[in-house]
Amino acid sequence: MSLPYRNVPNSSQHDRPESPAIGSSERPKAKIQEVAGCSDHRDKDSLVGSCESFNVFTGLINYPELLFEVAGHLDLEDLISLYAISRDFHNVMNTRFTAMIIYQARVQSPESSRVFSFRAYRTLCHGDPSGQQNEGKVTDVRLVPTFRWLRMVYFRDKVVQDIIRNLAAAGHMLPPRASLVLKKVWMALDIGTNAKRIGLFHNPALWSDEDLYIATMFFIKLDMRLSDPVDGCGESTFRKMMMGQRSLSILCTCLNAGGRLRQLDIL
């Protein structure tokens, strides 16, 4: 009589650990903890070493796009100081000098950067530090805006806002577009001859009918402010003298002084 066949496990099957069932979350814990402990120890050592040697600014230098985004929120004086003391930032900015200056102007003063284009102010430009040449003239290095142009853009934006605020404080309100129109007026004052100024005002692409209307409104309200017998200087020709200057900063100084400056003070 034959005995039934039995599947007797061999010694290798006794030594082998039981594998977890399919779908269960159990895992061999001892070996995993051992490996995890070794890797955590190595990761901690490498993390401490990398933290000691890591520098945020040095990391941004390797990514110019991020560097420009961060630099766009810096004040002008901080940007100039960073450009002067950091060799790495100096070299990176020289490769993209025009893009950096224009981006800075568009972030801080978008209207002024469009009205006072650096191409119209040759004295506020210098040769490209990267040595890029003009497309038409191979022998000439192209001109790029400088920090002086950027400083001018910031200054004029501040002066225009002060003029509008002083007129509003005296009860002479102007529409929101007046800021852009005053900057266009200042741009016209920079032109040396009346013939070119007339051509500028006759250009509908630069001066629309709405701009001319707001400019006329500004002159009328400025007359009312300066010719006021109590709060102003009481002279009707004072506005002509103010607008005959090459800069609106003198008008801003007059309004900040309460409009009580005399013609002798201006001279």
* pLDDT tens digits, 160-199: 999 999 999 888 999 999 999 999 999 999 988 889 989 9
> Do the Cβ atoms of 151 and 157 come closer than 8 Å?
no
Residue 66 identity: L
Using an 8 Å Cβ cutoff, are 255 and 225 in contact?
Answer: yes
Alpha-carbon distance of 189 to 246, in angstroms, equals: 5
pLDDT digits (tens, 9 = 90+) for 97-137: 888 888 888 888 889 999 999 988 988 988 877 776 666 66
Residue 131 burial class via C-beta count within 10 angstroms: exposed 0-12, middle 13-18, buried 19 and up: exposed
Decide: 252 and 221 in contact? Cβ < 8 Å.
Answer: no
Rounded CA-CA distance 179/70 in Å is: 27
Q: What is the C-alpha to C-alpha distance for residues 82 and 98, in angstroms, rounded to an integer? A: 17
What are 112's two structure tokens? Answer: 């002024």
Position 257 scores a pLDDT of 75
- Adjacent-strand bridge partners of 133: 141
H or E stretch at 125: strand 125-127
- Residue percentage of the chain with pLDDT more than 70: 70
Chain centroid to Cα 162, Å, comes to 21
Q: Whole-angstrom Cα distance, residue 9 to residue 27? A: 24
Give pLDDT, residue 133.
Answer: 67
Name the pLDDT band for 255 (thresholds 50, 70, 90).
Answer: confident
Q: Are 71 and 108 in contact (CB under 8 A)?
A: no
pLDDT tens string 188-202: 999 888 899 899 999
Contact 70, 60 (CB under 8 A): yes
23-66 residue pLDDT tens: 554 554 444 444 444 445 455 555 444 555 667 777 777 887 78
Say how many CA atoms lie within 13 Å of 166 toward its Cβ: 23
Q: What crossing angle do the helices spanning 194-201 and 178-189 adopt, rounded to 10°?
A: 150
**Dihedral of CA 247/251/257/261: which sign?**
positive
Least Cα distance to 158 among 138, 133, 175, 183 occurs for: 183
Nearest by Cα to 233 from 246, 245, 224: 224
Which residues, in sequence order, are bridge partners of residue 127? 143
Q: What is the pLDDT of residue 128?
A: 79
